[in-house]
Amino acid sequence: MGSGSSRGLLPSTVAVARRAAVSVGTVSRVLNGASDVNAELRRRVLKASRELGYVPKTPVKSIAVVVEEMHPQQPLGYVTTMVMSLIEELANHGYLAEITDAENLNHVRQARVNGVLGVVFDERIVSLREVPRLPIIAINSSMMLEHGIHSVSSDHFQQSRLAVEHLLAKGHRRIAFLETRGENWGSCRRLEGYRTTLEAAGVAVEESLIAYTRNQPVHDALDMLVRKGATALVNFSEDSALEVIHILTNIMRLSIPRDISVVSMEDLPVFNYLSPPHTVVVQPLKKLAQVAVEQMLRFCDRRSGSSGGELVDITLPCSLIERASVRDLTRE
C-alpha cells in the first residue's frame, strides 16, 4: 500500500495526499506553485511526491529563439552571447527557451511555443507571421518592421559614430572600416554611421578603406587596409574580432597602437586582458535580452502578438569604453 496503489497503477494526487497526510486540494496547490501553503505542508507534499515518483502534468511555457550563425567554435561571439542572455532572462520568468536554427522554421510551426524571439540577419522568420496569434520580436533586425514584426535593437548607427568620433579626436584621418558583411540591416547602419561621421568632420570617405570579412580571408582584408595607409581600424567584424587582432599582431607583426589603432565591437572579457587592453564600443546585450523578453511576455499575457496593436520599435543606446588600443596622434 506504501506505493499508493495495490494494482501497480501510476501514483496519483490521492496517493501523495495520503502519504503526506494532507488534503488532495493542498497537494494540488503545492504542485501548482501556490504561495499560500504552509511551509511544512509544502515540504511534506514535495517529499511524498518524490518518494512515490509522482510527476504532475504541468503545462510548459516556452519561447522559440530562432538563431542564425551560432557557431560552437566561436563561443564568445555576438550570437552566442545574445542567445545565452535570452535563455537566462526567459528562465528568470519561468519560461523555457527552445533554440531553433533559422533553417528549421517548421519546428516552430509545429511546436506549441508561446512566441518567437529572432536573433537573425535575414528575413526568413517573416514566414512565421502566417502562424495565428504568434508574437514575433526581432533582435537587432529593425528591417523586420516593414514586414510587421516587432523590433528591439541597439543603435547601430551610433556604434560607428562613437568609434569614429573617438579616433578623430585622437588625430586619425585614415580610418578603416571592417565589417563581417555588407548586406544586412546592422552592417548598413554601421557603415552609414561611419560615412556620416567622417563627412561631418570634413574627412573624405575612401572606399578602399572599407572591407568585409565574409567574402574574403580576414588576412587579405587587413593586408589591403594596411597597404592603403590606414592608421586606425574600426574592428566591427563581430565573431572575427579576435582573429583580426591575432593577425595584426602575430602574423603581420604590427604593434597596437603604435602601428595601427583599433576600436573593436562588444566588450568581451578578453579585451580587457589583451596587451594593450582594447578600446571597445558596447551594445547592451543583457539589456536587449531583458527588454525583448519583457515585451514578449506582455504579448503572451494579452495574446495579441504580431496580429494586433501597434508595432513595437525599441532602440537602446550604446557606449564606448576607452582603454589603450588607440594612439593619440594629437600629442605627437
Q: Is the pTM of this model over 0.75?
A: yes
Residue 202 is predicted with a pLDDT of 98
The dihedral through the CA atoms of 61, 76, 181, 274 has a sign that is positive
Q: 150-154 and 261-265: which strand pairing?
A: unpaired
pLDDT in tens, 241-270: 899 999 999 999 999 999 999 999 988 889
Residue 35 is predicted with a pLDDT of 78
Instruction: Name the one residue in this structure whose C-alpha cell is 565589417.
Output: 179
**Mean pLDDT for the stretch of residues 303-327:** 84
- 307 pLDDT higher than 60: no
**Mean pLDDT for the stretch of residues 131-143:** 91
pLDDT in tens, 199-208: 999 999 999 9
Alpha helices in the chain (DSSP H): 13-20, 24-31, 39-52, 78-92, 105-110, 156-169, 185-200, 218-227, 241-246, 285-302
pLDDT in tens, 89-135: 999 998 999 999 998 898 888 878 999 999 998 899 999 999 888 99
d(CA 54, CA 71): 39
- 50 pLDDT higher than 90: no
Residues pairing with 233 in the sheet? 176, 262
Print burial letters for 261-286: b (CB count within 10 Å at least 16), e (below 16): bbbbbbbbeebeebeeebbbbbbbbe
Let me know how long the chain is: 332
**Mean pLDDT for the stretch of residues 223-251:** 94
Choose between 1 and 54: higher pLDDT.
Answer: 54
Grid cell at residue 265:
565591437
d(CA 254, CA 256): 7
Residue 55 is predicted with a pLDDT of 76
ω before 277 within 30° of 0 (cis)? no
d(CA 117, CA 24): 39
Mean pLDDT, rounded, of the chain: 89
d(CA 322, CA 316): 20
- Asked if residues 329 and 172 have their Cβ atoms less than 8 Å apart, the reply is yes
pLDDT in tens, 153-195: 999 999 999 999 999 999 999 999 999 888 889 999 999 999 9
Residue 10 is predicted with a pLDDT of 52
- Asked if residues 81 and 139 have their Cβ atoms less than 8 Å apart, the reply is no
**Mean pLDDT for the stretch of residues 219-227:** 97
| Ranges 21-25, 230-234, 290-294, 302-306: which has the least confidence | 302-306
Choose between 171 and 60: higher pLDDT.
Answer: 171
